[in-house]
Amino acid sequence: MEQGRWPATLKRAGFDPHQTSVWLIEGFLPYLSESDVLALLDRVTALSAPGSCLGLTAINREMLTSPMMRFWLKSMKEAGVPCLSAMNEPEALLAKHGWAATVVQFGEESANFGRWPHPVMARSVPNTPRGWLVTAIKGSSGEKLGRQIS
């Protein structure tokens, strides 16, 4: 399916953008360019009635620049799936699109699931690679205030 056609395909299949919906964008945002991430959020926002829910995963910029991540980044690039984008403040980005977000780091108590072996650094600690689990609710206005990944 061509990139720009999926909203029309959804509508033809019976999707009603005036009804609340649930969106899951999990596991692939880092592999999209920043402009593609913003375009995807634009489309999801345009298709979402107030009260709709969004779940997504993302990484911060330090995941793309930290020496600790070099092996992983090189492996992903060699496999043909380089990491292209990240966001340091998912709440701010989603707020610009009309969503109220809650963000949890991988490994925090509500996002551990008994599988996170590393200490979790507070968000106030700089230069730390982080992964985000994000949930959001679309507000009543749904207006976009900007188009820049934070």
Query: Mean pLDDT over all residues of the chain?
Result: 90
Is 14 part of a structural domain of the chain? no
Domain range enclosing 88: 22-111+125-138
Q: pLDDT tens-digit profile of 56-95?
A: 999 999 999 999 999 999 999 999 999 999 999 999 999 9
Q: What are phi and psi of 39, to 5 degrees?
A: -65, -40
CA distance 48 to 38: 15
Strands 99-105 and 131-138, bridge-based pairing: antiparallel
Classify residue 7 by its DSSP letter. Answer: H
Mapping DSSP to helix (H, G, I), strand (E, B) and coil, where does residue 133 land? strand
Flag whether pLDDT at 116 surpasses 90. Answer: no
**What is the pTM for the complete model shown?**
0.87
Helix (H) or strand (E) holding 71: helix 70-78
Is 8 part of a structural domain of the chain? no
Q: How many domains does the chain have?
A: 1
Is 146 part of a structural domain of the chain? no
Is 2 part of a structural domain of the chain? no
- Domain of 80, CATH number, reads 3.40.50.150
Q: How confident is the model at residue 104 (pLDDT cuts 50, 70, 90)?
A: very high
